[in-house]
């Protein structure tokens, strides 16, 4: 079996053609060549995490860097339904078990990703399945999966990406058609809580900072689900940042999110330099792109820092080094020159690393 997925189901990032505000305080930070970056886990005022996959467990350089920088690990693919659920409602948790065991053996806490996602499971949980069987298998999957790791997980992304792409309402999917638009989410949180009462349970979504309307819809959804009794313990903002959004937009979302009083997880942070296609040629210089990255990541780190300590669940990047990113891999975006993370391939600090250090500590980075 391949250690890496045949294809990662990630979505394109929506980019807005808005220039970076000249007054951003982090824009002057430049690349730093030389020594390895000081450990992020000692600089971030919360658990610092990254994603990993089973194939990387056999890469000594990856293991060394993960243990150097991280206090938390998120399985990138091993806990997604395309890997755990087979025909006839058969289960295979072996890759997930390996990731959880690696974390436990090395003193890392684990954040589970993800239990219910609109993008997966429809081949087994299809529209032809009788509704009573659908509901029973839905409950069994969640209780079996989450319960397998009872007491070993810090938290779970229980429902992933329920909001429509543009923020106009919620996604129609196989889960909502069978169990109701709010019903499938409430049910998932109830089952997960029963299976592991001590884990924090998250609603996780992307483009919340990039598209204000989507952030608003998401936060209203959280409020509604809480009123319906869903045991939501935290909210996850993936933070796949569009580095061209206006200054202040990230800060505004965090201010609104913090008002709910729940722990907040920056759950999948990256910040691509390259735009997705369809918008014509990108004439920005490398220096301009780096300045945009640094400004937006600095704003994100500052916004996270302003949260009360009890609301800082974790700060997680989607991959640790540039070469670990789904944006670089062939089965992802296949952009070999992309640099969208805090560390370069050798573990040296990228410019955005300096912005994170400055935001969290008030001093310049390495």
Instruction: Write out the catalytic residue numbers.
Output: 161, 268
Residues forming beta bridges with residue 170, ordered by sequence position: 163
- In the numeric block, the tokens 């053609």 are attached to 17
One-letter-per-residue 3-state SS of the chain: CCCCCCCCCCCCCCCCCCCCCCCCCCCCCCCCCCCCCCCHHHCCCCCEEEEECHHHHHCHHHHHHHHHHCCEEEECCCCCHHHHEEHHHEECCHHHHHHHHHHHHCCCEEEEEEEEECCCCCCCCCCCCCHHHHHHHHHHHHHHHHHHCCCCCCEEEEEECCECCCCCCECCCHHHHHHCCCHHHHHHHHHHHHHCCCCEEEEEECCCCCCHHHHHHHHHHHHHHHHCCCCCCEEEECCECCCCCCCCHHHHHHHHHHCCCCCEEEEEEECCCCCCCCCCCCCCCHHHHHHHHHHHHHHHHHHHHCCCHHHEEEEEECCCEHHHCCCCCCCCCCCCCCCCCCECCCCCECHHHHHHHHHHHCCCCC
- In the numeric block, the tokens 């990032």 are attached to 13
Paired tokens of 207: 């483009």
CA dihedral 109, 112, 113, 116 (to 10 degrees): -170
Rg of the chain over all Cα atoms, to the nearest angstrom: 20
- Contact between 288 and 336 under an 8 Å Cβ cutoff? The reply is no
Do β-strands 109-117 and 155-160 pair in parallel, antiparallel, or remain unpaired? parallel
- Contact between 139 and 184 under an 8 Å Cβ cutoff? The reply is no
- Contact between 230 and 221 under an 8 Å Cβ cutoff? The reply is no
């Amino acid at each position: 079996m391949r250690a890496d997925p045949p294809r990662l189901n990630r979505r394109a990032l929506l980019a807005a053609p808005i220039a970076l505000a000249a007054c951003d305080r982090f824009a002057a930070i430049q690349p730093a060549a030389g020594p390895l970056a000081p450990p992020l886990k000692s600089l971030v005022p919360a658990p610092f995490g990254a994603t990993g996959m089973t194939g990387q467990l056999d890469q000594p350089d990856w293991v060394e860097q993960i243990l150097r920088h991280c206090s938390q690990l998120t399985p990138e693919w091993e806990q997604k339904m395309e890997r755990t659920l087979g025909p006839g409602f058969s289960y295979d948790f072996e890759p997930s078990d390996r990731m959880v065991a690696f974390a436990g053996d090395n003193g890392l806490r684990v954040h589970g990703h993800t239990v219910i996602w609109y993008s997966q499971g429809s081949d087994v949980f299809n529209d032809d399945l009788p509704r009573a069987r659908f509901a029973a298998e839905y409950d069994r999957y969640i209780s079996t999966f989450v319960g397998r790791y009872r007491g070993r997980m810090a938290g779970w992304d229980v429902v992933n990406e329920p909001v429509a792409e543009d923020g106009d309402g919620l996604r129609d999917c196989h889960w909502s058609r069978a169990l109701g638009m709010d019903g499938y989410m409430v049910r998932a949180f109830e089952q997960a809580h029963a299976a592991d009462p001590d884990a924090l349970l998250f609603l996780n979504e992307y483009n919340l900072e990039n598209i204000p309307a989507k952030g608003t819809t998401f936060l209203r959804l959280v409020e509604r689900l809480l009123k319906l009794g869903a045991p939501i313990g935290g909210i996850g903002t993936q933070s796949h940042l569009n580095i061209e959004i206006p200054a202040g937009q990230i800060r505004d979302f965090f201010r609104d999110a913090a008002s709910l009083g729940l722990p907040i997880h920056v759950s999948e942070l990256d910040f691509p330099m390259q735009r997705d296609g369809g918008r014509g040629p990108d004439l920005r210089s490398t220096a301009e792109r780096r300045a945009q990255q640094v400004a937006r990541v600095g704003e994100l780190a500052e916004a996270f820092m302003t949260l009360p300590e009890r609301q800082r669940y974790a700060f997680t990047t989607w991959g640790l080094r540039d070469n670990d990113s789904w944006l670089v891999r062939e089965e992802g975006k296949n952009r070999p020159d992309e640099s969208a993370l805090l560390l370069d391939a050798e573990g040296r600090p990228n410019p955005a690393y300096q912005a994170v250090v400055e935001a969290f500590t008030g001093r310049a980075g390495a």
